Amino acid sequence: MSAAPQKVRAGAEKIDVTISAVTPLNELVTRFEFVRSDGEPFPPFSPGAHTIVELNDGGRTRLNPYSLMSDPSDLSTYAISVRRDDQGRGGSLFLHRNVSVGDELTITYPVNLFPLDLRGKKHLFLAGGIGITPFMAMIAHLERMGGAWELHYSCRSRALGSYADELKKRYPSKVQVYFDDQAQSIALENLLDGQPLGTHVYVCGPKGMIDWVHSTTASLGWPEENVHSEEFLAPQPGKPFEVRLCTSDMLIQVGENESLLEAMERSGVDAPFLCRGGACGQCETNVIESEGEFLHRDHWLDDDEHANGKKIMPCVSRFVGKSLILDR
Amino acid sequence: MTIQFNKESFRGDYTFHNSDWAIQRFPFPFHEDSYMYSVNMEQHRGGPEGSVYEKRFDVDEHYVSEMHDRALVLAEDPLRCQSLPHMTLAGWDLLELIMVAKSEDYPELFELHRNGDTWRWVNKPMEIDDTFTFLDETTLPYGPMEYITRQAQGDWCVLDQRDDMLWMDAGMVTTQADWSLDFDIGMNFFEWHAPVPLAHEMGIFKRALKFLLNIQQGAPARRLNWTMTVNPLLDTSPENYHKWGVQKTTLTPENIGAKQYLRVELQTFFRLPRSNALVFPIRCYLIAFQDLVTIPKWGRRLHRVIRDLPDELATYKGFIANRPMMLDYLSRYDDGLATSPGVWPDLEKEPELKK
Amino acid sequence: MSRFTFPDSIASRPVYGTLEPKQGKAHLMIADAEGAEALLDLGMHNPDIFKNSHVIFIPKDTGQTYIGSLADLDPEQFYVGPSYDASVPRIRRVLSGAHMGLQVYLAGTEGLIGQAQNEAMQAGIPHTAIQSEHRGSVARRMQCVHCKGITEDVTTDPFVCSHCGLNLFVRDHYSRRLAAFQGVRVDAEDPGNIPVPVELYS
């Protein structure tokens, strides 16, 4: 067929928004609330979804993914909570320093790579630090729909425990908070032991925590389908490198503080993407030739693919070496 | 334009018919003179004015009669509409999607008035005016998916997305090309397509799945599929195959133009926002051979496609036995002239039949 | 020999493996007839897991053949039932009280494996995490797509639906939810022309 063929555009559909509130929660984390600039309600979203916020940082476009943490039943507002990353490439710093109420931004439609399994007879949430954000939306959703849940939330200290007091106060019997500086930690094996059949566990936090939950559940005989995780990878800065894009027939430079994907976009190459965090697989790119070492940081390619150097995920992965030629 | 709804039947005396308008906007599925499987997906964001691609959910002259036929099927066999327990939220998503789309795209036929969670839905062609509470099933006469798909043409498969896979976990299926929702419910994407020949080996389903998993909110997609049906029978279900299968043997050279139908499915795909499920509407369009050949380009091309189709596909689509008779008929409308590329009728450009 | 190698088929047709011990605090093993041999093989190399195992066995026509050897594995709980149907309330009770980490092992005919798998799935275990090993009869559990009745232990193609009496051909299309293959009227397009039934896999 083709009725009227249309080229598929990279990324999800976009929405113009205006910042309606900026609320610092503690030393590191600030909540940003958006309303639609056209005054319409937002599209509904499923808990666990993220949006990509487009930031114009001194002429450079930054596209950063953040979990939607507002109540999915409230379509007047979307909210994200952003942890300041002083070592990162500047997206979170830019939001913290340069964005205030009334500013206009563009965000994408929600995309969900961390959905609830709606068959779950019980949902067990494990959050580490800023990993609390998707659970805020999940909890609101399950409270509304009458689902069984339990949250175990580990943070550095009481002062840095974003939303910890609020959650504990609202759901005293369902929320347990652990503070690192008080030497408290989740007794995972104990917690997993005795969960009813049909329980699903969800973990969002640092990589070490995610790996720990996957290996512990596996050793206790939990099916992998019942264990869900999301780790947002921010692209890390690295040494500049050069790439030849053979379909586009151009040679581009990837700077220290930009990702390969961003460098392609800056050069006018329309490269596909969705999550920009190494998880969705959309930006997978074939390597035609390479001499050097890949710095793979994604969750999409498997170990073999990481080893054989035939593919790269340009949203988070980098390259060090003499030459790299990509099919893009 | 105002649609004049036909009074017609899809069973018994088979009074189904297409107007000239319906013939010219028929979604002819062959863009060239041959056919083989392909993923053939494109974005579903409108199409030429008046075409079946223009609106999110096309409403045509068959709407009221198709909905009557659906009610008859469901009265006979309620298992044609099922939803596994975790799919209720997706049902509400679907209800919202259809109500919003229909009321925006056909404001003269449908109205949706929302006041918080209190919604009023007006369906003028079906004389329905209901007020209910969104997300409260007790305020509707059926579950949300059943309620709205009793008012929307085509079959509706609601697919849960888990573990990088799609699962056929709910649906309203009364106009299907010989597959059973009751049997297939709960299956994954590869399993419910298991009986399809050749396409698995060609990697079609793997590529299609990858595409579908990535369909995002606000960016629906579509494709066409097709088969053949004797008589304008919507309900070609396996459940009733023991009743309709024999109709295939009633074709004669004299009646084939009137009794043999090309059956085209316009398949669309929408991400559902609250549940993250995917809805897969399969809208069925029927056209008699004798109406189809009034478009010279389509007559020429259909003959060539059917003539050159691999036997496996003719068998799977259920017309291998009748193919020689179909070709005898269609060859009368193929003068060997070249056809223009694309699916459109091109009535002004294509020459009259030279036979 | 109780093993049979099924020919390659379509994607919905179940594929069976060989039971292997899995990590878990508790194990539920359900077998019928020659399926006992799969449990015995499992026990030969991994006697320890039976300490935390509940074994449910339906001998069918194997009588006493396997009961003694299964008892010798010394499972924590051992039940011998007269039929699968009779064991269903027990299976449901065990699953309703079970915890995540329970390992399920199914062995024997396709009918038993499919039905017990369905019970475990209903209880919240994904089907991919349930082990199964086919042993013994290749008879199939068939659903008539027309009347919806299930005919057990079908060994020929075509066969007669035990509910509506139509002659049905045997498809490889399989529903986990129904734990059955699909049977479709064989003479729908040519009423009365019914092929001579042949043994499955002959």
In this predicted model, what pLDDT tens digit does every residue of B62-81 receive, in sequence order?
Answer: 999 999 999 999 999 999 99
Residues whose CB falls within 8 Å of the CB of residue A43, separated by 6 or more in sequence, listed in order:
A15, A75, A109, A110, B217, B218, B273
Which of B40, B43, B89 faces A118 most closely, judged by CB atoms? B89
3-state SS, B219-235, equals CCEEEEEEEEEECCCCC
User: pLDDT tens for residues A164-212?
Assistant: 999 999 999 999 999 999 999 999 999 999 999 999 999 999 999 999 9
Report C:45-104 residues touching A (Cβ under 8 A).
Answer: 95, 98-103
Whether this model's ipTM surpasses 0.85 comes out as yes
Does A6 sit within 8 Å of B343, measured CB to CB? no
Q: Which chains contact C through at least 3 pairs of Cβ atoms less than 8 Å apart?
A: A, B
Residue span(s) of chain A under CATH 3.40.50.80 come to: 122-230
pLDDT at residue A89 is higher than 70: no
Please list the active-site residues of B. 223
Q: Where are chain B's structural domains?
A: 20-331
Mean pLDDT in residue range A284-303: 90
- Report chain B's mean pLDDT, rounded to a whole number: 95
Which residues 126-165 on chain C approach chain A with CB closer than 8 angstroms? 126, 128-129
Compute the nearest-CA separation of B20 from chain A (Å): 20
pLDDT computed for residue A9 by the predictor: 54
Of C145, C176, C178, the CB nearest to B239: C145
Between the alpha carbon of residue A209 and those of residues A124, A130, A199, A216, B328, the distances in Å are 15, 13, 19, 10, 69
C175: contact with B, CB 8 A cutoff: yes
Residue C189 has its nearest CB partner, among B191, B192, B248, at B248
Has residue A4 got a pLDDT over 50? Answer: no
Domain boundaries, chain C: 27-134, 140-199
pLDDT band at B40 (very low <50, low <70, confident <90, very high): confident
Q: Does domain A122-230 have CATH number 3.40.50.80?
A: yes
The reported pLDDT for the residue numbered B329 is 98
The fold for domain C27-134 equals Rossmann fold (3.40.50)
At A62, the pLDDT band (50, 70, 90 cuts) reads confident
- Name the B residues in 101-130 with CB < 8 Å from any A CB: none
Rounded-to-integer distance, Cα C111 and Cα B331, Å: 51
Q: If you write DSSP's letter for every residue of A222-254 in order, what string do you get?
A: --GGGEEEE-PPPPPP---EEEEETTTTEEEEE
Q: In the structure, what pLDDT confidence band is assigned to residue A123 with cuts at 50, 70 and 90?
A: very high
Q: Please tell me the predicted confidence (pLDDT) of residue C177.
A: 97
Q: Considering only alpha carbons, which residue of chain B is nearest residue C164?
A: B242
B190 in C contact zone (CB under 8 Å): yes
Q: State yes or no: pLDDT of A64 exceeds 90.
A: no
Which residues contact residue C72 at a Cβ distance below 8 angstroms, ignoring those fewer than 6 apart? none
Retrieve residue B314's tokens: 């003719």
For residue C30, give how far its alpha carbon lies from the nearest alpha carbon of chain B (Å).
Answer: 23
DSSP one-letter string for A76-101: T-EEEEEE--TTSSSHHHHHHHH--T
CA pair distance A167, A132, nearest whole angstrom: 11
Does residue C80 or residue B2 have the better pLDDT? C80
- What is the rounded average pLDDT of the residues B164-175? 97
Whether residues C23 and A219 touch (CB distance < 8 A) is answered with yes
Residue range B280-284: average pLDDT?
A: 97
CATH T-level assignment (fold) for domain A14-111: Elongation Factor Tu (Ef-tu); domain 3 (2.40.30)
Quickly list DSSP for B323-351: HHHHHHHHHTT--S----SSSS--TTTSP
- How big is the A-C interface in CB pairs under 8 Å? 55
Tens-place pLDDT, residues C120-129: 999 999 999 9
Of C22, C23, C98, the CB nearest to A197: C98
The class level of CATH for A241-326 reads alpha beta
Best of C100, C127, C131 to substitute, by most chain A Cβ atoms within 10 angstroms, is C100
The two beta strands, C131-134 and C140-144, are: unpaired
What is the band of B324 on the pLDDT scale with cuts at 50, 70, 90? Answer: very high
Q: How many CB atoms lie within 10 A of CB A277?
A: 25
Chain A: closest CA distance from residue C72 (Å)? 26
Q: Which residue intervals of chain A bear CATH 2.40.30.10?
A: 14-111
